[in-house]
Chains A and B, each alone.
Chain A
Amino acid sequence: MSLIEAARLAISQIRVQKLKSFFTLLGVTIGVMFLIAVVSIVNGMGNYMEDAFAGKFLGVNTINLRRFPDFNMGNVTEEQWKEWQRRPYITVADAEAIRDDLPPGAKWAIDDVDWLTPQSKYVASGPQLIAHAATAGYFDIKNLEVSQGRVFTEQEDQLGAAVVVIGSETAEHYFPSLDPIGKNLLIEGLPFRVIGVLEKQGSAFGLSLDRQAIAPFHSPMSRFTGPRNLYGVLVQAPSPQAMSDVQGAVQEVMRRRHRLLPTQNDDFSLESSESALSTWQSIQKYLVLAGIFLPAIGLVVGAIVIMNIMLVAVAERTREIGIRKSLGARRRDIMSQFLVEAATLSVMGAAIGIALGFLLARGVAAISPLPTSVAPWSVVVAIALGAGIGIIAGAYPASRASRLDPIAALRSE
Chain B
Amino acid sequence: MQDDLVSTTAEREVVVGNQGVAPSREWVIVTRGIRRDYDMGGEVVHALRGVDLAIRRNEYVAIMGPSGSGKSTLMNIVGCLDTPNAGEYWLNGELVSRMKDDELARVRNREIGFVFQTFNLLPRATALHNVELPLVYAGVSSAERKRRAKEALEKVQLDNRMDHRPNELSGGQRQRVAIARALINNPAILLADEPTGNLDSQTSDEIMRVFEGLASGGQTVIMVTHEPDIAAHARRVVVLRDGRISSDERREQFVSKVMSGTGLA
* Cα distance A328–B102 in the bound complex, in angstroms: 9
Query: Shortest distance in angstroms between B144's beta carbon and chain A's nearest beta carbon?
Result: 13
Residues facing A in B63-116 (CB within 8 A) are 76, 79, 81-82, 101-102, 105-106, 108-110, 114, 116
Chain A residues within an 8 Å CB radius of B120: 319, 322-323, 326, 410
* Main SS class of interface, A: helix
Bound: A19/B234 CA distance, A: 50
Q: Which of A12, A327, A330 has the most CB of B within 10 A?
A: A327
Indicate if the CB atoms of B102 and A327 lie closer than 8 Å. Answer: no
Contacting pair B81 A329 (CB below 8 A):
no
Stretch at the interface among B5-13, B20-28, B130-138, B247-255: B130-138
**Please, which residues of chain A bring their CB within 8 A of the CB of B46?**
none
Contacts of B76 in A (CB 8 A): 407
Which residues of chain A from 1 to 55 have a CB within 8 Å of any chain B CB? 1-2, 5, 12, 16
Do A5 and B136 touch (CB < 8 A)? yes
Does A69 make an interface contact (CB < 8 A)? no
Q: Bound complex: CA of A214 vs CA of B106, how far in Å?
A: 86
A1-B137, A328-B108 are contacts. A407–B82 as well, Cβ < 8 Å? yes
CA distance A322 to B185 in the complex (A): 19
23 pairs of residues in contact across A and B, judged by CB atoms under 8 Å: A1-B136, A1-B137, A1-B139, A2-B139, A16-B124, A320-B122, A325-B81, A326-B114, A327-B114, A327-B137, A327-B181, A328-B105, A328-B106, A328-B108, A328-B137, A328-B185, A330-B105, A330-B106, A331-B101, A331-B102, A333-B105, A406-B81, A410-B116
> How many chain-B residues does the 8 Å CB contact rule pick out?
25
Kindly identify which residue among A328, A332, A407, A410 contacts B134, using a CB–CB cutoff of 8 Å: A328
Please tell me if the beta carbons of A326 and B137 are within 8 angstroms of each other in the complex.
no
Least CB distance from B114 to A in Å reads 5
| Per-residue contact bits, chain B 128-154, to A (CB 8 Å; 1 contact, 0 not) | 000001101111000000000000000
Whole-angstrom CA separation of A202 from B136 in the bound complex: 63
Cβ-closest 4 pairs across A and B: A328-B109, A328-B137, A330-B105, A327-B134
Interface string of A359-374 (1 = CB under 8 A from B): 0000000000000000
* Smallest beta-carbon distance B175→chain A, Å: 15
A291 CB, nearest partner CB in chain B, Å: 41
State the interface size on chain A (CB cutoff 8 A).
22
Give chain A residues whose Cβ lies under 8 Å from the Cβ of B124. Answer: 12, 16
Residues of A within 8 A of B (CB): 1-2, 5, 12, 16, 319-320, 322-333, 406-407, 410
For the complex, give the distance between the alpha carbons of A2 and B142 in Å.
Answer: 11
Please give 11 more A-B residue pairs, beta carbons under 8 A apart, in addition to A326-B79, A327-B109, A328-B108: A5-B136, A323-B121, A324-B133, A324-B137, A325-B81, A326-B114, A327-B108, A328-B110, A330-B105, A331-B102, A331-B105
Please indicate the chain A residues that have their CB under 8 angstroms from the CB of B138 in the complex: 328
Contacts of A410 in B (CB 8 A): 81, 116, 120
Q: Which residue of A lies closest to B113 (CB)?
A: A327
With a cutoff of 8 Å between Cβ atoms, the chain B residues found around residue A2 in the complex are: 139
For the complex, what is the distance from the CA of A333 to the CA of B101, rounded to whole Å?
12
Q: How far is the CA of A407 from the CA of B114 in the complex (A)?
A: 13
Q: A333 contacts B137, CB within 8 Å?
A: yes
Q: What is the bound-complex CA distance between A406 and B105, given in angstroms?
A: 10
Nearest Cβ distance between residue B61 and chain A, in whole angstroms? 20
For B105, give the chain A residue with the smallest CB separation. Answer: A330
